[in-house]
A and B are shown apart, each in its own frame.
Chain A
Amino acid sequence: MSRRARWVVFWLGGLGVAVLFVLAVLRLPEFGGLVHPYRDLSVPAAMGRSSPNVVSSINFDQRALDTLGEETILLGSVVGAAALLRPSKDEKEQLAKEEGRVLEATKLLGYLLLPVTLILGADVVTHGHLTPGGGFQGGVVLATGLHLLYVAGSYRMLRRLRPVSWYEMAEAAGAGAFVVLGFVGLFLAGSFLANVLPWGTLGDLFSSGSVFALNVAVGAEVTSGVVVLLARFLAQALSVREVK
Protein backbone atom coordinates (compact mmCIF):
# COMPACT_ATOMS: atom_id res chain seq x y z
CA MET A 1 0.00 0.00 0.00
CA SER A 2 1.36 3.44 -0.82
CA ARG A 3 2.01 5.90 1.99
CA ARG A 4 -0.83 8.11 0.88
CA ALA A 5 -3.37 5.30 0.81
CA ARG A 6 -2.19 4.22 4.26
CA TRP A 7 -2.89 7.70 5.65
CA VAL A 8 -6.35 7.85 4.08
CA VAL A 9 -7.23 4.49 5.64
CA PHE A 10 -5.83 5.62 8.99
CA TRP A 11 -7.74 8.92 9.15
CA LEU A 12 -11.02 7.29 8.11
CA GLY A 13 -10.60 4.38 10.50
CA GLY A 14 -9.16 6.47 13.34
CA LEU A 15 -11.96 9.02 13.11
CA GLY A 16 -14.57 6.26 13.13
CA VAL A 17 -13.00 4.57 16.14
CA ALA A 18 -12.73 7.91 17.96
CA VAL A 19 -16.42 8.73 17.44
CA LEU A 20 -17.58 5.25 18.49
CA PHE A 21 -15.21 5.29 21.48
CA VAL A 22 -16.55 8.61 22.79
CA LEU A 23 -20.16 7.43 22.30
CA ALA A 24 -19.34 4.27 24.28
CA VAL A 25 -17.52 6.16 27.02
CA LEU A 26 -20.49 8.49 27.58
CA ARG A 27 -22.51 5.48 28.75
CA LEU A 28 -19.81 3.90 30.94
CA PRO A 29 -20.28 4.02 34.71
CA GLU A 30 -18.86 7.22 36.18
CA PHE A 31 -15.11 7.18 36.98
CA GLY A 32 -14.58 6.56 40.70
CA GLY A 33 -18.21 5.53 41.25
CA LEU A 34 -19.56 3.15 43.86
CA VAL A 35 -20.98 0.35 41.69
CA HIS A 36 -18.55 -2.58 41.28
CA PRO A 37 -20.49 -5.85 41.10
CA TYR A 38 -17.43 -8.03 40.40
CA ARG A 39 -15.65 -6.57 43.40
CA ASP A 40 -18.61 -7.34 45.65
CA LEU A 41 -18.46 -11.01 44.61
CA SER A 42 -14.72 -11.63 44.44
CA VAL A 43 -13.57 -10.06 47.71
CA PRO A 44 -15.68 -12.26 50.04
CA ALA A 45 -14.73 -15.32 47.96
CA ALA A 46 -11.02 -14.55 48.41
CA MET A 47 -11.40 -14.02 52.15
CA GLY A 48 -13.25 -17.34 52.47
CA ARG A 49 -10.22 -19.06 50.92
CA SER A 50 -7.55 -17.42 53.07
CA SER A 51 -5.89 -15.28 50.44
CA PRO A 52 -5.72 -11.69 51.70
CA ASN A 53 -4.31 -10.47 48.36
CA VAL A 54 -7.52 -10.60 46.38
CA VAL A 55 -5.76 -10.08 43.03
CA SER A 56 -3.76 -13.30 43.49
CA SER A 57 -6.86 -15.19 44.53
CA ILE A 58 -8.59 -14.10 41.32
CA ASN A 59 -5.63 -14.95 39.11
CA PHE A 60 -4.83 -18.34 40.59
CA ASP A 61 -8.11 -19.57 42.05
CA GLN A 62 -11.28 -17.86 40.90
CA ARG A 63 -10.11 -17.37 37.32
CA ALA A 64 -7.22 -19.86 37.18
CA LEU A 65 -8.30 -21.26 33.81
CA ASP A 66 -7.97 -17.80 32.27
CA THR A 67 -4.47 -17.53 33.73
CA LEU A 68 -3.59 -20.87 32.14
CA GLY A 69 -4.55 -19.30 28.81
CA GLU A 70 -2.43 -16.20 29.44
CA GLU A 71 0.45 -18.40 30.50
CA THR A 72 0.19 -20.37 27.29
CA ILE A 73 0.43 -17.17 25.22
CA LEU A 74 3.54 -16.32 27.23
CA LEU A 75 5.06 -19.75 26.59
CA GLY A 76 4.22 -19.54 22.88
CA SER A 77 5.77 -16.08 22.47
CA VAL A 78 8.94 -17.06 24.30
CA VAL A 79 9.37 -20.25 22.25
CA GLY A 80 8.69 -18.33 19.03
CA ALA A 81 11.08 -15.50 19.83
CA ALA A 82 13.80 -17.90 20.99
CA ALA A 83 13.49 -19.90 17.77
CA LEU A 84 13.66 -16.74 15.63
CA LEU A 85 16.72 -15.48 17.50
CA ARG A 86 18.72 -18.71 17.32
CA PRO A 87 21.97 -18.22 15.38
CA SER A 88 21.44 -19.45 11.81
CA LYS A 89 23.77 -21.64 9.75
CA ASP A 90 25.98 -18.83 8.51
CA GLU A 91 26.31 -17.22 11.94
CA LYS A 92 28.61 -18.01 14.82
CA GLU A 93 28.91 -16.89 18.41
CA GLN A 94 32.06 -14.92 19.07
CA LEU A 95 32.79 -13.18 22.32
CA ALA A 96 34.60 -9.88 22.03
CA LYS A 97 38.10 -10.14 23.56
CA GLU A 98 37.85 -6.89 25.45
CA GLU A 99 34.81 -6.16 27.53
CA GLY A 100 33.80 -2.53 27.71
CA ARG A 101 35.15 -0.64 30.70
CA VAL A 102 32.72 -0.10 33.52
CA LEU A 103 33.13 2.27 36.45
CA GLU A 104 34.19 0.47 39.63
CA ALA A 105 31.30 2.08 41.50
CA THR A 106 28.82 0.73 38.95
CA LYS A 107 30.33 -2.75 39.29
CA LEU A 108 30.11 -2.64 43.06
CA LEU A 109 26.52 -1.43 42.92
CA GLY A 110 25.63 -4.22 40.49
CA TYR A 111 27.19 -6.92 42.69
CA LEU A 112 25.59 -5.49 45.85
CA LEU A 113 22.15 -5.18 44.30
CA LEU A 114 22.22 -8.66 42.77
CA PRO A 115 21.53 -10.71 45.95
CA VAL A 116 19.09 -8.07 47.23
CA THR A 117 17.05 -8.23 44.02
CA LEU A 118 17.07 -12.03 43.94
CA ILE A 119 15.82 -12.24 47.54
CA LEU A 120 13.23 -9.55 46.86
CA GLY A 121 12.02 -11.42 43.77
CA ALA A 122 11.73 -14.71 45.64
CA ASP A 123 9.85 -12.92 48.41
CA VAL A 124 7.45 -11.33 45.94
CA VAL A 125 6.70 -14.75 44.36
CA THR A 126 6.22 -16.72 47.59
CA HIS A 127 4.13 -14.11 49.42
CA GLY A 128 1.94 -13.42 46.42
CA HIS A 129 -1.21 -14.60 48.18
CA LEU A 130 -0.56 -12.37 51.21
CA THR A 131 0.88 -9.07 49.96
CA PRO A 132 0.94 -7.37 46.57
CA GLY A 133 2.96 -9.58 44.24
CA GLY A 134 2.89 -13.07 42.84
CA GLY A 135 4.38 -15.26 40.18
CA PHE A 136 4.08 -12.77 37.32
CA GLN A 137 5.65 -9.78 39.08
CA GLY A 138 8.20 -11.74 41.10
CA GLY A 139 9.31 -13.65 38.02
CA VAL A 140 10.09 -10.45 36.15
CA VAL A 141 11.96 -9.05 39.18
CA LEU A 142 14.05 -12.25 39.47
CA ALA A 143 14.95 -12.28 35.77
CA THR A 144 15.84 -8.57 35.80
CA GLY A 145 17.93 -9.06 38.94
CA LEU A 146 20.02 -11.76 37.30
CA HIS A 147 20.84 -9.35 34.49
CA LEU A 148 22.37 -6.86 36.92
CA LEU A 149 25.48 -8.94 36.25
CA TYR A 150 25.46 -7.52 32.75
CA VAL A 151 25.18 -3.99 34.12
CA ALA A 152 28.12 -4.82 36.38
CA GLY A 153 30.03 -5.35 33.16
CA SER A 154 30.54 -9.06 33.31
CA TYR A 155 28.84 -10.58 30.29
CA ARG A 156 31.16 -13.62 30.53
CA MET A 157 30.22 -14.26 34.13
CA LEU A 158 26.56 -13.82 33.29
CA ARG A 159 26.90 -16.47 30.59
CA ARG A 160 28.53 -18.88 33.01
CA LEU A 161 25.91 -18.36 35.72
CA ARG A 162 23.06 -18.65 33.29
CA PRO A 163 23.03 -21.91 31.36
CA VAL A 164 20.17 -21.05 29.02
CA SER A 165 19.16 -24.68 28.45
CA TRP A 166 18.37 -25.05 32.18
CA TYR A 167 16.07 -22.07 32.02
CA GLU A 168 14.38 -23.48 28.93
CA MET A 169 13.70 -26.65 30.89
CA ALA A 170 12.53 -24.70 33.96
CA GLU A 171 10.11 -22.81 31.77
CA ALA A 172 8.57 -25.98 30.40
CA ALA A 173 8.45 -27.44 33.93
CA GLY A 174 6.63 -24.34 35.24
CA ALA A 175 4.03 -24.48 32.48
CA GLY A 176 3.67 -28.24 32.95
CA ALA A 177 3.24 -27.92 36.73
CA PHE A 178 0.30 -25.56 36.19
CA VAL A 179 -1.46 -28.11 34.00
CA VAL A 180 -0.65 -30.99 36.40
CA LEU A 181 -2.13 -29.01 39.31
CA GLY A 182 -5.17 -28.46 37.12
CA PHE A 183 -5.61 -32.21 36.61
CA VAL A 184 -5.07 -32.87 40.32
CA GLY A 185 -8.06 -30.59 40.90
CA LEU A 186 -10.03 -32.42 38.21
CA PHE A 187 -9.48 -35.84 39.78
CA LEU A 188 -9.79 -34.89 43.46
CA ALA A 189 -12.50 -32.24 43.34
CA GLY A 190 -14.22 -32.83 40.02
CA SER A 191 -13.23 -29.66 38.17
CA PHE A 192 -10.10 -28.51 36.37
CA LEU A 193 -7.84 -26.31 38.56
CA ALA A 194 -10.15 -26.70 41.57
CA ASN A 195 -8.49 -25.55 44.79
CA VAL A 196 -7.75 -28.87 46.56
CA LEU A 197 -5.00 -28.13 49.07
CA PRO A 198 -6.06 -27.20 52.61
CA TRP A 199 -6.80 -23.49 52.93
CA GLY A 200 -4.89 -23.05 56.19
CA THR A 201 -5.01 -20.02 58.44
CA LEU A 202 -5.53 -16.60 56.93
CA GLY A 203 -2.15 -14.85 56.82
CA ASP A 204 0.16 -17.93 57.04
CA LEU A 205 2.80 -18.54 54.36
CA PHE A 206 1.38 -21.99 53.55
CA SER A 207 -2.25 -20.99 53.26
CA SER A 208 -4.83 -20.30 50.55
CA GLY A 209 -4.44 -23.80 49.09
CA SER A 210 -3.32 -24.14 45.49
CA VAL A 211 -2.78 -20.40 45.04
CA PHE A 212 0.65 -20.71 46.65
CA ALA A 213 1.68 -23.66 44.46
CA LEU A 214 0.36 -22.06 41.25
CA ASN A 215 2.15 -18.82 42.14
CA VAL A 216 5.46 -20.66 42.40
CA ALA A 217 4.83 -22.51 39.11
CA VAL A 218 4.06 -19.27 37.28
CA GLY A 219 7.01 -17.59 38.99
CA ALA A 220 9.34 -20.28 37.63
CA GLU A 221 7.86 -19.96 34.17
CA VAL A 222 7.99 -16.17 33.97
CA THR A 223 11.52 -16.00 35.43
CA SER A 224 12.90 -18.51 32.98
CA GLY A 225 10.88 -17.11 30.08
CA VAL A 226 12.25 -13.60 30.54
CA VAL A 227 15.78 -14.95 31.17
CA VAL A 228 15.64 -16.95 27.92
CA LEU A 229 14.37 -13.92 25.99
CA LEU A 230 16.99 -11.52 27.36
CA ALA A 231 19.71 -14.15 26.83
CA ARG A 232 18.78 -14.54 23.16
CA PHE A 233 18.59 -10.79 22.60
CA LEU A 234 21.93 -10.21 24.36
CA ALA A 235 23.58 -12.97 22.32
CA GLN A 236 22.21 -11.55 19.06
CA ALA A 237 23.31 -8.02 19.89
CA LEU A 238 26.69 -8.77 21.45
CA SER A 239 28.20 -12.01 20.22
CA VAL A 240 26.45 -13.49 17.16
CA ARG A 241 28.35 -12.53 14.00
CA GLU A 242 27.84 -13.51 10.41
CA VAL A 243 30.67 -15.62 9.03
CA LYS A 244 31.18 -15.49 5.31
Chain B
Amino acid sequence: MNPLLLVAFVLVAAGATVVVFTREPSRQAVTLGVYGILLTLLFVLLQAPDVALSQVAVGSAVVPLMVLLAVRKVRGGKR
Protein backbone atom coordinates (compact mmCIF):
# COMPACT_ATOMS: atom_id res chain seq x y z
CA MET B 1 0.00 0.00 0.00
CA ASN B 2 1.03 3.57 -0.70
CA PRO B 3 2.86 4.80 2.44
CA LEU B 4 0.96 8.10 2.36
CA LEU B 5 -2.37 6.23 2.49
CA LEU B 6 -1.06 4.07 5.31
CA VAL B 7 -0.19 7.16 7.35
CA ALA B 8 -3.60 8.74 6.59
CA PHE B 9 -5.49 5.63 7.78
CA VAL B 10 -3.47 5.43 11.00
CA LEU B 11 -3.96 9.17 11.64
CA VAL B 12 -7.74 8.87 11.18
CA ALA B 13 -7.93 5.96 13.64
CA ALA B 14 -5.77 7.86 16.14
CA GLY B 15 -7.76 11.07 15.64
CA ALA B 16 -11.07 9.34 16.36
CA THR B 17 -9.60 7.84 19.52
CA VAL B 18 -8.44 11.26 20.71
CA VAL B 19 -11.90 12.77 20.07
CA VAL B 20 -13.60 10.01 22.07
CA PHE B 21 -11.17 10.38 24.98
CA THR B 22 -11.56 14.16 25.13
CA ARG B 23 -13.91 14.51 28.08
CA GLU B 24 -14.70 18.22 27.95
CA PRO B 25 -17.19 18.83 25.08
CA SER B 26 -15.90 22.35 24.36
CA ARG B 27 -12.41 20.93 23.74
CA GLN B 28 -13.97 18.08 21.85
CA ALA B 29 -15.28 20.60 19.29
CA VAL B 30 -11.64 21.43 18.50
CA THR B 31 -10.43 17.83 18.26
CA LEU B 32 -13.52 17.01 16.18
CA GLY B 33 -12.55 19.78 13.73
CA VAL B 34 -9.03 18.36 13.44
CA TYR B 35 -10.47 14.88 12.93
CA GLY B 36 -12.66 16.30 10.14
CA ILE B 37 -9.56 17.63 8.38
CA LEU B 38 -7.77 14.26 8.78
CA LEU B 39 -10.76 12.52 7.19
CA THR B 40 -10.70 15.07 4.35
CA LEU B 41 -7.02 14.28 3.68
CA LEU B 42 -7.80 10.57 3.62
CA PHE B 43 -10.67 11.13 1.15
CA VAL B 44 -8.42 13.17 -1.14
CA LEU B 45 -5.86 10.34 -1.11
CA LEU B 46 -8.64 7.83 -1.86
CA GLN B 47 -9.40 9.85 -5.03
CA ALA B 48 -12.76 11.14 -3.80
CA PRO B 49 -12.72 14.93 -4.37
CA ASP B 50 -16.52 15.23 -4.16
CA VAL B 51 -16.62 13.56 -0.77
CA ALA B 52 -13.61 15.52 0.49
CA LEU B 53 -15.32 18.79 -0.46
CA SER B 54 -18.41 17.99 1.54
CA GLN B 55 -16.37 16.62 4.46
CA VAL B 56 -14.18 19.72 4.75
CA ALA B 57 -17.20 22.04 5.01
CA VAL B 58 -19.32 19.80 7.24
CA GLY B 59 -16.69 18.11 9.38
CA SER B 60 -14.35 20.97 10.10
CA ALA B 61 -16.79 23.91 10.21
CA VAL B 62 -20.52 23.24 10.55
CA VAL B 63 -20.62 20.38 13.07
CA PRO B 64 -17.89 21.70 15.44
CA LEU B 65 -19.62 25.11 15.41
CA MET B 66 -22.96 23.54 16.34
CA VAL B 67 -21.28 21.54 19.12
CA LEU B 68 -19.67 24.73 20.50
CA LEU B 69 -22.98 26.60 20.42
CA ALA B 70 -24.77 23.71 22.14
CA VAL B 71 -22.09 23.65 24.87
CA ARG B 72 -22.45 27.39 25.36
CA LYS B 73 -26.23 27.10 25.68
CA VAL B 74 -26.11 24.15 28.08
CA ARG B 75 -23.39 25.66 30.29
CA GLY B 76 -25.10 29.06 30.24
CA GLY B 77 -28.32 27.51 31.48
CA LYS B 78 -26.60 26.04 34.53
CA ARG B 79 -25.43 29.35 35.91
Contacts and interface: CB of A to CB of B under 8 A. Distances in A.
Given A233-B69, A237-B72, A140 B50 contact: no
Interface in A40-71: 53, 55-56
A132 B49 CA distance: 6
Given A144-B57, A237-B72, A237-B73, A137 B66 contact: no
Do most interface residues of chain B lie in helix, strand or loop, or is the interface mixed? helix
Interface in A97-146: 124, 132-134, 136-137, 140-141, 143-144
A236 interface: yes
A124 B50 CA distance: 10
**In the complex, which of the residues B1, B65, B70 has the most CB atoms of chain A within 10 Å of its own CB atom?**
B65
A83 interface: no
B54 A236 contact: no
Interface in A229-244: 229-230, 233-234, 236-238, 242
Contact of B1 (A32, A133, A137, A143): A32
Nearest to B51: A55
B62 A230 contact: yes
Do most interface residues of chain A lie in helix, strand or loop, or is the interface mixed? helix
Given A132-B50, A132-B53, A143 B73 contact: no
Interface residues of B, number: 17
Interface in A179-233: 226, 229-230, 233
A234 B62 CA distance: 12
Contacts, number: 48
A21 interface: no
Nearest to A242: B77
A31 interface: yes
A226 B65 CA distance: 12
Contacts of B66: 229-230, 233
15 contacts: A32-B1, A132-B50, A134-B50, A136-B54, A137-B53, A137-B54, A140-B54, A144-B57, A144-B61, A233-B66, A233-B70, A237-B69, A237-B73, A238-B72, A242-B77
Interface pairs A-B: 4 shortest CB-CB? A132-B49, A140-B57, A237-B69, A233-B69
Given A140-B57, A236-B73, 15 more contacts: A55-B50, A133-B53, A137-B57, A140-B54, A140-B62, A144-B57, A144-B62, A147-B65, A230-B62, A230-B66, A233-B66, A233-B70, A237-B69, A237-B72, A237-B76
